Amino acid sequence: MTRTSKTVCVMTCALAGLSLLLLWQTGCREKGLPLDNPPQVSQENAKPKVSTSLSQEALEQLLIAENRALSTEPRVEAVRRLGSLGEKDVAPRLAALLPGGYGSLTVAIINALGQIADPRALPALRKTHDDIPLFAASGLLNANLEYTMRCCEEGHQLTEEEFFSLGSRKEPASPYPRVGFFGVPWGDRHKIVFVMDRSGSTTDSIDYVKAEIQRSISTLPKEAEFGIIFYSSGPPITMAGPGLVRPTEAGMKAASDFLDRIEAKGETDPTTALRQAFALAPDLIYLLTDGEFDPGVAALIKQLNGDGHVIVNTIAYLYPQSEKVLKQIAAQNGGKYAFISLANLVESGK
């Protein structure tokens, strides 16, 4: 190509560019648009920005989790995989999917964030926590949420022992009403028996039960009487004495000494303990478990409480596996049901 040809080519390109610019400016004038912002390439179909610090697998799973066009199942599986990968930079985008609905996907996200344990997830978790009344019936979700928030605050996934130690390091207090046990009042009933689970699964949490028993009986009126029975798969362990005792100084010391000797072990079988409890002729029983009851337990209590004189309050402790049976027992025996979560226990240490 000659110099003259090159010059002509350059001028042609310049004129073409100028023509395009003039056409754009003319269009802007007709539409009343500003002339100082040139057209930009549309980002509508651009790929979402991703962090280059994440592994390829994490990026792939994250895009699946964020894809609202997919069904719940693959998104839940992707979230679970992200939790097992444990890559910190996943946390902000995973947390951005909260609060949303409160189904299996939310549970998976909360559990995964607990594994990742990154403080950047805390704002979204706290917002979800503020919405707890919307799903308060799901005690397990409440418990998982509180555990995940603690993990994110500490910056690493906590063991169960570490989680409980966070509460025990604080000044002891109780968020529950002064008159009652774990928030369930005893009303005008003054002959009370505590039938408590001491199975092996309560190893790291049984001290909270003991402390709440001591706090509760310390508020009993002087004319009241109480008894304490702990059960597992072996013979129940009953507080010494021929019957119920009064909350005198001697009675309180006997209760304290008895509670100090209780250790968690065995499986969950309350049947013999319940028979012993009704034999003490109470007018109120508190029945607590963290395990799973056979439906026959409800039938046994109905049989033992033939005239319906004894109120039976039931408590699902940490895990609501027996929620259906415990609610049935409470309803059939004029009592109340409560779920005590990890969140409640940690709150009791604030």
At residue 72, the pLDDT reads: 86
Q: Which regions in the chain score pLDDT beneath 70? A: 1-52, 99-103, 130-143, 164-179, 343-350
Q: Are residues 216 and 96 in the same domain?
A: no
Q: Are residues 330 and 263 in the same domain?
A: yes
At residue 24, the pLDDT reads: 47
Q: Are residues 137 and 255 in the same domain?
A: no
CATH code, 118: 1.25.10.10
CATH code, 203: 3.40.50.410
Q: Evaluate whether residue 2 is within a structural domain.
A: no
Which run of H or E residues covers position 277?
A: helix 271-279
- Mind listing the pLDDT tens digit for each residue in 246-291? 999 999 999 999 999 999 999 999 999 999 999 999 999 999 999 9
Q: Are residues 233 and 150 in the same domain?
A: no
Q: Are residues 75 and 145 in the same domain?
A: yes
At residue 122, the pLDDT reads: 86
DSSP states of 194-222: EEEE--GGGTTTHHHHHHHHHHHHTTS-T
Q: Evaluate whether residue 46 is within a structural domain.
A: no
Q: Are residues 327 and 250 in the same domain?
A: yes
What's the domain range around 130? Answer: 56-158
At residue 238, the pLDDT reads: 95
Structure tokens at 333: 């025996």
At residue 306, the pLDDT reads: 92
Q: Are residues 228 and 106 in the same domain?
A: no
Q: Evaluate whether residue 226 is within a structural domain.
A: yes
Quick check: 190 and 221 in contact, CB under 8 A?
yes
At residue 341, the pLDDT reads: 80
Q: Evaluate whether residue 167 is within a structural domain.
A: no
Q: Are residues 198 and 343 in the same domain?
A: yes
Q: Are residues 154 and 195 in the same domain?
A: no
* Total count of domains within the chain: 2
Pairwise CA distance, residues 241 & 227, whole Å: 9
Q: Are residues 219 and 135 in the same domain?
A: no
Q: Are residues 203 and 341 in the same domain?
A: yes
Q: 161-166: long-range contacts at Cβ-Cβ below 8 A with a sequence spacing of 24 or more? A: 161/204, 163/342, 163/346, 164/204, 164/205, 164/208, 164/345, 166/346, 166/349
Note the pTM of the prediction, 2 decimals.
0.54
- 99 preceded by cis ω (within 30°)? yes
